[in-house]
């Protein structure tokens, strides 16, 4: 992993809270299998955050984890708490169900966006949530009723392989 990464227990707490409130949407998220990081390098990155599978090489160092969950601090400085919650929810939606092959090997999977974004995020927070500090707060006083995309494509459901990740917001 890149340098400038520091553990991010607060991000983990946010994802735990999101999963508690939206268990169906985040059913594949097992926070104990995810390593949460902040990238504190001062330069803005293209992505606000990303989720990356822990690949075979990385597995030797981190055998008990499936994903890195990284927030690029410099890129989200302007985010309100509601936007941070939206971002964490978005990234957590990238975590797919484990895939088991015929030999019983389990592989972590990444879920692709079903629009340019995730339908469920856009429907709840608005298409401009990343530019709107006053967007709805998924962890606000009221639970947000989430709406699933009516029809799903055959593709765009899940994927694997390094060419697919990291997935960017």
CB of residue 49 to Zn ion, shortest distance in Å: 8
Q: Residue 34: beta bridge partners?
A: 67
First-to-last C-alpha distance (Å) of the chain:
20
Helix (H, G, I), strand (E, B) or coil at 74: helix
- Of the pair 65, 118, the CB lying nearest Zn ion is at 118
- Of the pair 100, 157, the CB lying nearest Zn ion is at 157
Q: Which residue has the tokens 């974004």?
A: 117
Contacts to Zn ion by CB under 5 A: 167, 169
C-alpha pair distances (Å), 72 with each of 7, 48, 50, 88, 125: 12, 5, 8, 12, 21
CB of residue 166 to Zn ion, shortest distance in Å: 9
CB of residue 108 to Zn ion, shortest distance in Å: 16
- Of the pair 14, 167, the CB lying nearest Zn ion is at 167
Residue 63 and residue 55: Cα distance in Å, rounded? 10
- Of the pair 106, 156, the CB lying nearest Zn ion is at 156
- Of the pair 48, 65, the CB lying nearest Zn ion is at 48
CB of residue 63 to Zn ion, shortest distance in Å: 26
CB of residue 113 to Zn ion, shortest distance in Å: 6
Determine if residue 143 is left, alpha or beta; phi over 0 gives left, psi from -120 to 50 gives alpha, anything else beta.
Answer: beta
88: which 2 tokens? 């964490």
């Amino acid at each position: 992993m890149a340098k400038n990464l520091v553990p991010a227990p607060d991000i983990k707490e946010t994802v735990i809270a999101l999963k508690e409130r939206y268990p169906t949407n985040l059913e594949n998220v097992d926070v104990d299998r995810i390593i949460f990081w902040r990238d504190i390098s001062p330069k803005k990155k293209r992505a606000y955050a990303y989720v990356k599978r822990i690949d075979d090489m990385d597995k030797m160092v981190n055998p008990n984890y499936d994903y890195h969950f990284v927030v690029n601090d410099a890129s989200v400085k302007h985010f309100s708490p509601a936007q941070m919650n939206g971002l964490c929810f978005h990234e957590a939606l990238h975590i797919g169900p484990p895939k088991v092959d015929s030999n019983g090997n389990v592989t972590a999977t990444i879920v692709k966006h079903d629009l340019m974004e995730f339908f469920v995020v856009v429907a709840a927070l608005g298409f401009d949530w990343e530019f709107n500090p006053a967007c709805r707060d998924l962890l606000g006083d009221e639970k947000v009723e989430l709406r699933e995309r009516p029809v799903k494509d055959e593709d765009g459901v899940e994927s694997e392989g390094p060419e697919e990740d990291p997935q960017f917001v």
